[in-house]
Structure 1
Amino acid sequence: MKKLLISLSMLLPFFVSAQKGYTLSGKVPQLKEPAKAYLAFYKDAAWRETDSVEIKNGKFEFNGNLAEPQTAIIAIRRSGAQQSGKQNDYQSFIIENSKISIEGKDSIYNAKITGSVAEKENSEREAMIKPITDKIIHLQNFYGKKDQAGVYQKSIEDRKKAGDSISKLVVKIKSINRQFVENHLNSFAGLLAYSTHVLDSKFDPVDAESLLHRFSPELQASPLGQSAINRIEIGKRRQQGAKATDFTQNDVNGKPFTLSSLRGKYVLVDFWASWCVPCRAENPNVVKAYNALKGDKFEIVSVSLDAGKDSWLNAIKTDGMPWIHVSDLKYWKNDVAVMYGISSVPQNLLIDPNGIIIAKNLRGEDLTDQLRKFIKP
C-alpha cells in the first residue's frame, strides 16, 4: 500500500498539469483575407483536424485539455487561397497544457511559437541537427546529379565516398539525439525524441528498454511511455535468440501458409514490397542465395507489404523469386509486419530449424556467404 501511495504521489504532478488545459493564442496582424485557423492532431495513424476558428482582426484562440503533450499542426486557410497562393500555410509544434503564443505577420509558416517548454526543448534539438542535415542534403544533391540521359555525372567512386560521408553524418545525428534523450529524462521532449529516434525501425530492445526505465515514472506511465513499452515488447519478437512468433497468411494462390510448417529447416523471413526500391535492388542477391542454398535445409518466405495483388505478383515474376510468398495486401498494416514491429523495408529474420531467430537483416552481394555462416551442414 505504501509503495502504491508513493507511486501515485510521483504521478500527481503529471496529472495536475494535465488538468490545467491549454490556451493557444495566435496573432497575424497583416493577414488581409478572410481566413480560419485549424488545429490538427495525429490520431489513428493520420493527421486529423479537431478544431477550427475564424480569424478576426488578425487574432484567433484555441482552448482545450491534453492528457499529455503531443505534436500538433496549426494551419491557416484563406477564403481566397488559390488567389493568395498560400494554401500550405502551416507549422507543426509540440502543444502542452500551458499558455502558448503564435506570432507572425501574415502567415503561420514562419510564425514564432512560445510558451511550450516541450516545443522549446525540441527546437533546441532540431537546431543542433539542422547543420548536419543540410550537409547530407548538399552531398545527396551534388553527387546524385544526373544528366539529361539519366546518367550520374559523378563517378561511382565519388558517389561511394559521398555515401560513406553521409553514413558518418547519420551516425552523428543518432549520437546527438541519443545524448539529448539522456539529458532530458524528465521531459516530454526527451521522451518524444526517444520514441522517434531511439525506437527507430531497427532498435535494440534490450538497450531501448534499459534507457526507457531511466525516464521519470510519470513519463513512463504516460500514453507515449506506454506506447514505447508496447513497441519494445513487439521488438523483442524479432530479437536474436527469441522464438519466432508463428503466423499464418495467404500465399499467391490464396491458400493459407503457416510458418511453423517449415520447422526443421533454416528459414529466411524476408519483409519487402514491390514499390520498395531498395527491396527490388536487393532481390538479385536473395535470388542468388536461394539458388545456392535451396533444398531440404533452407527455405525463404517473403512477406509483402503490398496493397495490390497485381503489382505484387508482377514483381515476383519480374524479379524471378521462386520461393514462398505471402501477403494480406494491407500495405504497412500487414498483420505479420505489425506483429514483428516492421516499420521499414527491406528487413529479414533468419530462423533456425528449432524456430529460434539466429540473425537478422542479412543482405548485400555476399548474402550467400553470410547465410552459410549460420546454416550448419
Structure 2
Amino acid sequence: MNMKINRSLWTGLLALSSVQLMAQQQLKINAEFETLNDGQKVYLTDFITKRVDSTSVANNKFQFMANADSSTIYIVQLGLQPKENEFFFMDMGAGQVNISGKGSSFKDVAITGSSFVDRWKELDAFMLNRCGGGINYPNELAQKMAQAQAIGDGQALENLQKDFLLYVEKGKSAAKDWIAKYPDESISAYVINAFLLNKIPLNEVKALVKGLGANAQRSKLAHLMLTLEEPKLSSNLLNQQAPDFTLNDEKGVAVKLSDFKGKYVLLDFWASWCAPCRKEMPFVKAAFEKYNSPKFTILSVSIDTEPEKWRKALTDEKMPWKQLLDDSNQQVSTLYNVAFIPMNFLIDPTGKIIAFGLYGENINKQLGDVLK
C-alpha cells in the first residue's frame, strides 16, 4: 500500500524523532531509601572518563541525569570514602535505573529499570553458576585477603589466593560463552574487560572486541580496549643484557643477579603496599610452582621504604623464592626504568631480557613457550 505524507507532517515526524533520540541518550537514576540522611552527598563516577557528578539526598531520595551517548561503567557511591555496601557499579547506557531500599546502604536494595539492568543481573547469576561467585566476587575475595593479611593469617591468605586463581580460570571460559551468546550487547565489552583483559594476550582481547557487534563496539570500554598498547620501556632494554646488581635479601645476605646466569629468571618488582601487586601474586606463585627447576627461578625486588612492612608481607605471602629489597636510593628500579608496579622482566640463561610486563595468565604462557 502506497502512502503519501505531506512535507509539513514529514518535518514534524523528523522533529519528533530527533526529540526521541535525544531522550534515548539520557541515563536517569532514581533512588529512594527509607533511612538515608537528608543532605548526604552521593557521587556518580564514570569509570572510564573519571567524570564525577554529585547530588544530595532530599526526603530520602536522590537522582542523577547523565548523557549516555554510549554505555560505560558507572559507580554510584554514598560519600567520598564509601564503606562496604555503600557503593555499587554497573554497565549502564541510555535508559533508567530505579533503586529502592529499606536501610541506609546498597545492601539488599531492589534495582530495576531498562533492559541493561536485567542483563547485568543475568550476568551476575551466570557467573555465580559457572564460577562459584558473581560479578563482585573478586572484590569480595580481595577484601578477605586484605583482612587475612592484616591479622597475619598466612594459611587463609594462601587459600583465598587459590580461590581467586580458580575463579579467574573458570571466568575465562564462562566469559567466552557469554560473548558468543550476546555479541552485540555492550555488557559483553565489560565481560571482556573484567574476565579476559590481562588474563589472555592483548592481541586476543582486541580480536574479541573487534568481533563484537556494532552496538557493543560503541561502548566506552570497547573503545578503551582497542586503544590499549603493550607496556613500553622508557629505554630499550628488550633484547639487551639485563643490568647486573647486588641487593640484600631478608636475612641481610648479598645477592647478585648474575649469580643466576645459566637459568631463566623472572625479575619481579613489587611492594607490600601495592594492591595490584598483591592481586598478581597468585599468578606468580602458580608460575613458580609449575616451572620451578634448575632451569628457572623467580627473583623479587621490593621497592618498599619500610623494611618491617616488607618483612611482614613476606611472612603473609609465603613466596618460596629469593626476596630482595631495593636500597634507599631505589637503585635497581631506576636501573630498570621501572615507572610503575607490578613490573617484571624475563631474563634468559645468557642474561638477556627477552620479555617484560607479563601479567595474569601471560606469565604461564610465556614461560610455557620458553621452557618447552
| TM-score normalized by the length of structure 2 | 0.56
Summarize deviations over 1:74-123 as a string: whole Å, max 9, x none: 3446xxxxxxxx99533333332212211223444122222243332122
Answering whether residue 197 of structure 2 is matched by residue 224 of structure 1, we say no
Partner of 1:68: 70
The structure-2 alpha-carbon separation of the partners of 1:170 and 1:94, relative to structure 1 and needing over 3 Å to count, comes to: closer
Partner of 1:94: 91
Q: Which of 28, 32, 42 is residue 23 of structure 1 equivalent to?
A: 28
Shift of 1:32: 6.7
The structure-2 alpha-carbon separation of the partners of 1:247 and 1:34, relative to structure 1 and needing over 3 Å to count, comes to: farther
Equivalent residue pairs, number: 294
8 A contact 2:35–2:102 mirrored in 1? yes
Summarize deviations over 1:22-48 as a string: whole Å, max 9, x none: 2211222x3374343512315589x87
CA distance in 1, matches of 2:341, 2:301: 8
| TM-score normalized by the length of structure 1 | 0.55
8 A contact 2:45–2:76 mirrored in 1? no
Instruction: Map 1:324-343 onto structure 2 (within 5 A).
Output: 326-327=332-333, 334-335=338-339
Percent identity reads 15
CA distance in 2, matches of 1:312, 1:246: 33
Partner of 1:234: 230
Instruction: Map 1:9-48 onto structure 2 (within 5 A).
Output: 20-28=25-33, 30-31=34-35, 33-41=37-45, 43=47
Q: CA RMSD for the aligned pairs? A: 5.7
Code of the residue aligned with 1:198 in structure 2: it is L
Code of the residue aligned with 2:115 in structure 1: it is V
SS state at 1:215 partner: coil
SS state at 2:132 partner: helix
Shift of 1:282: 5.6
Summarize deviations over 1:283-318 as a string: whole Å, max 9, x none: 9x79x989x67xxxx9988665x4537579979x99
SS state at 1:114 partner: strand
CA distance in 2, matches of 1:302, 1:150: 22
Partner of 2:56: 53
Instruction: Map 1:356-367 onto structure 2 (within 5 A).
Output: 356-357=354-355, 361=363
CA distance in 1, matches of 2:332, 2:53: 38
8 A contact 2:299–2:324 mirrored in 1? no
Q: Which runs of 5+ in 1 are unaligned?
A: 1-12, 78-85, 254-263
Shift of 1:61: 1.7
Q: Which runs of 5+ in 2 are unaligned?
A: 1-17, 139-143, 248-260, 316-320
SS state at 2:189 partner: helix
Q: Which of 166, 176, 179 is residue 178 of structure 1 equivalent to?
A: 176
Partner of 1:133: 132
SS state at 1:118 partner: helix
